Structures are given as C-alpha cells and as structure tokens.
Amino acid sequence: MGIKLKFNNIQKHFFGVTALDGVSFEIEEKHTVGLIGENGAGKSTLMNILGGVLLPDGGNMSLDGDAYLPSNPRDAAQRGVAFIHQELNLFTNLSIAENIYINSFPSLKKTPLIDKKKMNDSLKSLLKSLDLNYSPSTTVENLAPGERQLVEIAKALHSDAFLIIFDEPTTSLTARETEKLFTILDQLRSEGRTIIYISHILGEVKRITDDVIVLRDGKVTGNSETGLIEIPEMINQMVGRESDNLFPERSAKPKDSPILEVKSLSQPGIVGNVDFSVHEGEVLGVFGLMGSGRTEMARMLFGVDTYRSGSISIDGTPLPRNSPQSSIERGMAFVTENRREEGLLMNVAITENIGLVSLPDYCRNLVKWVDAKRMNEEAGIIGDSLKLKASDIRRQPAMSLSGGNQQKVVIGKWLMTKPRLLIMDEPTRGIDVGAKYEVYSIMDRLAADNSGILFISSEVEELIGIADRIVVMSQGEVVKVFEKKDFDVTALMAAAFREAVA
C-alpha cells in the first residue's frame, strides 16, 4: 500500500506560542489513523493546516505523492480532503440538506436553480443511517448539539473525499450514536478511504484505528501500530509520565442533609415529574441517551428555562424561577454543555472570563468599583490549579485556546464562586485524560468541602467511576436511581433504554 499523506517538519506559531514544532509523519493509504495528545498539543492546528484553514509557518506536505499546500478549504476539498471540525461549523439558519450541500448544490436541469427534491431525497437514507430522524429540510437551529454533530458527520460522509478528518466527532454523542459512527467508519474504510481520527477517548482509538500518532507540545512523541501499543503507554507518550488511575479515590462520604431538592418538576412535552435530591458532599450522576432531557432539566434547575410546575429548593428554601442570577446568589453554578455559545466570551481575556461570575465579590462601595488586581490574581490561581495551558492569561483571548483548555476556563469561572451546588453538563467532553482526572479531582474536592455536584454525562464509565448515585433519565422522566452498590454498565444502559424497568 502506498503513502497517502506525508507531513514533513511542519511548524506553526501563534503569537509566540509554538503550536507545532517540526511535525513529521506519514499516513498509509486506506488506514485509519488515531491522532492523540493532550489539550493544546497541536492536533487541531495540524488538521487545520491539512484542511486549508491555516497556513504552516514552515515545512511541507505531500498528498498522493504530489506536493500539497492548500491555501483555503476549497483547495483542500478539491484535493479530496474533508474535515469535520472540533467546533461545529454549521449554519443554523439553513436546513440540514443545505448545510450538507452548501458548496455543491445539485441544479435543476441546467438552470441555476437548486433541485431541492433531489437534494432532500438523496439525503434521506444517509440521515437514516445515522439515526437522525429528521427531514433533510429541517432547520439546523432546531437540533440539539449532538444532532448537529451528526449533521457534521453526514456532511463529511456525503462528500466523496478520500481523506476524511474527524476532530473529536464523538464529544456530543452517546454510546449508541458512537457505535453507529463506528459502523460507518468501517464502511468508509472498506470503501478504501483514509481516515484521521482525533479523540480523547483512548478506548475508541484503540478499537478502531490501525495506527496511532501521539503529539505532545507540538512534537510527535509516538508513532506505532495500534495493535502494538496499550492505553497506559499511549498516556505515557501523551503526558510524559505513567498514569494508571483514571479516577481519583473519593476522599469523603456524602452526608444525609440535602442541598438540592427537586419535587415533581415538569414542563409539558419536555420533562415530567422529575424528583430527586443532591446531598451535601455527594456527586450525583445523571445518565441518559441523547435527547433524554437532561440538559433541559439542568437548565430549568438553574433558572435558564421556565417550567410549568414543581418545586426546586436549595438548602430547604425554594428557588425563584427563571433567574440565573439568584441561582448564583444561592450558591449554584452551571457548566453548560455548549461552551462556545453559552460558556465563553470568546474574544475576551482568559482572566476576565474566569472572573465574570464572581465579579460582584470583587466590588467595593456604592459604585461597585471592581478590584481588577485582586480578581486577576485569584483568576490566575484558579487557572494554575486547572493546569490551564496559555501563554498570557491576562491578555490572551479565550478563542485562542485549544478546545480542552477552553473547557477548563468555563469550569474555572464557576470554581471561583466556590459553589454550593455545581451542575456540570458534559464537563469532560473534549478534554484530555489528564484534564479529566483534574476535573474529577475538583469534583471530589468540592464534595469533600460539603458541596453537592450534579454531574450529567453520557459516558457510563466515568459516572460509575466518580458518582455516588446515578439518576437515569429517559424521555424526560427519571426512570431509576442507582445506588453505588448497584452500579453496572448493562443495567444502566438498559434503564436508559427503558428496558425491563417496570
């Protein structure tokens, strides 16, 4: 088999940060290659160069044996390279079909008009194969994040590219969708396409790739056949040290006194009769399939969305409806699942982002003078404790961080409020193993300090690893609450599918 793609000494610097420092490796044709590395290791940057989004500062590439240097995404597409970005790249005001066909609309019998029927018909089976049960003419605005990610995938599958890049495609997908995606990847491979697959979930990488490339600080630190390398070794190559524990030991046991009590919360069509409580020192996991209503429930709890009936109380006192501000005053914190749109002020400095929620705590006197110095210091400390990888956190905008580090900023801004109850919606999505461990440790520390944590996740393993109890939701209702002793992957999955629950 020939060489599909060759990187030779690729360099890329941003504002003094070295993102790629002489990256060289080759990818064999028809292989599926895993690309792994810590947050900020340079994976997305390398792919952006490959996809024509960025130009390298030095080095060269060759594709199919010819020199290759795309100056924009169109060039890349013409050379048969398709790219599913880490950040969703969809037009929310257009339909699914239009997003997929955005650059290749079929025309109606030699007129300049679009053949809508053809376009929509041709996609029906594709969407079905992805379990995306929407008409192709549905506007993307109406889709949940996970569903949007499926559209991105559909977009790449639909192109006839022979080199397809997946940059963390499963971050918004649950187990079932991920399985689906893997079947599709298999199919692509059998069609003879070459795939680059970036993920922080090393199990996935181990399972589906032929080769693994490891990046650390912009350099290649590992390059081997997947069969010849085990996960601990991958981690070793990624972080430069051994690590056997994926989850920290829980340092304290939950108390009996409840912090959050939710009683028959309902909103017609969305959630119904949700009852549960989070206790002091407890990590309460929430599991469910995509679209099971976990996010919506969390948003109601925090006061972002309205609900029709039921009660939410913190420390025994009911919470006013629909006011994130008073939720925060009562000690709640909320890491949303959508960091780009709801988590960060993208072009604002990192410290400002971290300080945003706790601003009132750094204000003096009547005019609410902000003590910027003190705030920046504290934000810096939080940043350090999260091992945030940035060159100058007072000036650098959040936008310039790697995906995982952005997530850390979001978590950081809530940690700064020293929350009593922290709601985390898919907080480990897109962050590397090391950072995940840190997030779990943070949860543990908070719990040990008597805070409560509501931890929404689609990864059963991490819930089992860190939660004290797990609530399983399906179709907007709480199906079952599992005690720690009953934790079991199959039982949890079964509950999520509502099998044998009755």
Q: Which residues bind ligand ATP (CB under 6 A)?
A: 14-15, 17, 19, 37, 39-45, 86, 142, 144-146, 174, 288, 290-296, 337, 389, 400-405, 432, 458
Q: Which does 370 bind (CB under 5 to 8 A by kind): ligand ATP, Mg ion, another protein, none?
A: another protein
Q: Which does 400 bind (CB under 5 to 8 A by kind): ligand ATP, Mg ion, another protein, none?
A: ligand ATP
Quick one: 286 or 328, whose CB is closer to Mg ion? 286
Helix (H) / strand (E) containing 407? helix 403-415
Q: Distance (Å, rounded) from C-alpha 165 to C-alpha 195?
A: 6
Work out whether 296 is an interface residue with another protein (CB under 8 A): yes
* Cβ-based burial of 435 (10 A; exposed 0-12, middle 13-18, buried ≥19): buried
Q: b vs e for 88-120, b when ≥16 Cβ sit within 10 Å of the residue's Cβ?
A: bebeeeebbbbbbbeeebeeeeeeeeebbeebb
What is the closest distance, in whole angstroms, from the C-beta atom of residue 114 to another protein in the complex? 5
Single residue of 257, 309, 311, 391 touching another protein by CB under 8 A: 391
| Contact present, 195 and 33 (Cβ < 8 Å) | yes
Helix (H) / strand (E) containing 261? strand 258-267
Work out whether 80 is an interface residue with another protein (CB under 8 A): no
Quick one: 279 or 294, whose CB is closer to Mg ion? 294
Work out whether 103 is an interface residue with another protein (CB under 8 A): yes
Single residue of 246, 346, 481, 493 touching another protein by CB under 8 A: 346
- Site of tokens 């939720």: 327
What is the closest distance, in whole angstroms, from the C-beta atom of residue 197 to Mg ion in the complex? 13
Q: Which of 333, 269, 324, 326 is nearest to 296 (CA)?
A: 269
| Contact present, 354 and 416 (Cβ < 8 Å) | yes
β-strands 17-28, 3-14: how paired?
antiparallel
What is the closest distance, in whole angstroms, from the C-beta atom of residue 45 to another protein in the complex? 14
Q: Which does 19 bind (CB under 5 to 8 A by kind): another protein, ligand ATP, Mg ion, none?
A: ligand ATP
Quick one: 258 or 404, whose CB is closer to Mg ion? 404
Work out whether 497 is an interface residue with another protein (CB under 8 A): no
Quick one: 1 or 15, whose CB is closer to ligand ATP? 15
Q: Please name every residue paired with 84 in a beta bridge, in sequence order, or none if there are none.
A: 166
- Site of tokens 């037009």: 91
- Spell out, one character per residue from 275 to 294, where the chain touches another protein: x when CB under 8 A holds, - when not: ----------------xxx-
Work out whether 122 is an interface residue with another protein (CB under 8 A): no
Q: Distance (Å, rounded) from C-alpha 432 to C-alpha 191?
A: 31
The footprint of Mg ion (CB under 5 A) covers 44, 86, 295, 337, 403
